Amino acid sequence: MNIVLLGLPGVGKGTYAKKISNIYDIPQISTGDMFREAMKNRTKIGLLAKTYIDKGNLVPDDVTIKLVEERLKQDDCKNGFMLDGFPRTIAQAEALDKIVVIDKVLDFTASEEIIIDRLSGRRICKSCGAIYHIRNIIPKVKGVCDKCGGEVYQRDDDKPKAIKERFIVYKKQTEPLIKYYTKKGILRSINADWPIEQVDNVISDARKALEE
Ligand code: ADP
Ligand code: ZN
């Protein structure tokens, strides 16, 4: 199954994506993770992406589309994949439609209040991308990832100024995708307005939507 995930930054997409891709045994392709990896390794794409990401802006379409196109050619995508953070613009969605057929799009929704709290308290592992939260997903040793021992830090773009900008960008550039995929009849809305401890409720709704 070829799946796309939508939802405001901070809605919990990354957490849901990991769980759902494990259940269906398909790779989770997160363009945000790919860019962060590239930034860590200071590759050409990484250095370019950083100038956009730190401000809360989108990386240009041509760069992003090429990155995803290459990734989808890999063997592990043959039996399906889950895109997390792509497409984020109509141009990206149109480019994607030329490469593969998308079966379902899950749009995760939650109130902005909840989302801002999740984002500003979010911490992530620099090495493996595992997601933590200062209040309810706390690593056993402060600042150290439970899964891999990597450094747990706050992304620059999770700071208040960039969060605001990311919301504006989402509403302007990404929200039109909801209509785009609704028209195709493949969009399903998933209520993610649950405390993070109840993430299983979100996952079970997502499964129902995928298996209907
Ligand atoms: P979030 O969904 O929490 O904003 P991501 O980890 O998905 O975070 O993305 C972080 C940043 O990486 C985005 O704010 C954007 O700058 C860049 N990025 C990720 N995916 C894309 C994309 N499909 N197109 C353009 N930029 C992207
Ligand atoms: Zn880790």
pLDDT at 82: 97
Q: For residue 49, report the distance from its CA to the centre of ligand 1, in Å.
A: 10
Residue reference for tokens 């057929």: 101
Report strand pairing: 81-84 vs 131-133. Answer: unpaired
Centre a 10 Å sphere on the Cβ of residue 20 and count the other Cβ atoms it contains: 21
pTM for the predicted model, two decimal places: 0.89
DSSP 196: G
| Residue in 35, 40, 153, 169 to alter for ligand 1 test, most ligand atoms within 8 A of Cβ | 35
Domain limits, the chain: 2-111+173-211
pLDDT at 188: 98
Ligand 1 in contact with 35 (CB < 6 A)? yes
What confidence category does residue 143 fall into, taking pLDDT thresholds of 50, 70 and 90?
A: very high
Domain 2-111+173-211: which CATH class?
Answer: alpha beta
Percent of the chain clearing pLDDT 90 (strictly above): 81
What confidence category does residue 162 fall into, taking pLDDT thresholds of 50, 70 and 90?
A: confident
Ligand 1 in contact with 16 (CB < 6 A)? no
Residue 87: is the preceding peptide bond cis (ω within 30°)?
Answer: yes
Q: For residue 58, report the distance from its CA to the centre of ligand 1, in Å.
A: 6
pLDDT at 156: 87
pLDDT at 197: 74
What confidence category does residue 161 fall into, taking pLDDT thresholds of 50, 70 and 90?
A: confident
pLDDT tens-digit series, residues 55-78 = 889 999 999 999 999 999 999 999
List the residue whose alpha carbon is closest to atom 18 of ligand 1.
Answer: 32
Instruction: Give the pair of three-digit tokens for residue 21.
Output: 């891709």
Mean of per-residue pLDDT scores for the chain: 94
Say if residues 116 and 14 touch (Cβ distance below 8 Å).
no
Q: What mean pLDDT is predicted for residues 165-180?
A: 94
Closest CA to 64 of 92, 38, 83: 92
DSSP 3-state assignment of 124?
strand
pLDDT tens-digit series, residues 7-63 = 998 898 988 999 999 999 999 999 999 999 999 999 999 999 999 998 889 999 999
Q: For residue 173, report the distance from its CA to the centre of ligand 2, in Å.
A: 31
What confidence category does residue 83 fall into, taking pLDDT thresholds of 50, 70 and 90?
A: very high
Catalytic residues: 13, 88, 122, 155, 166
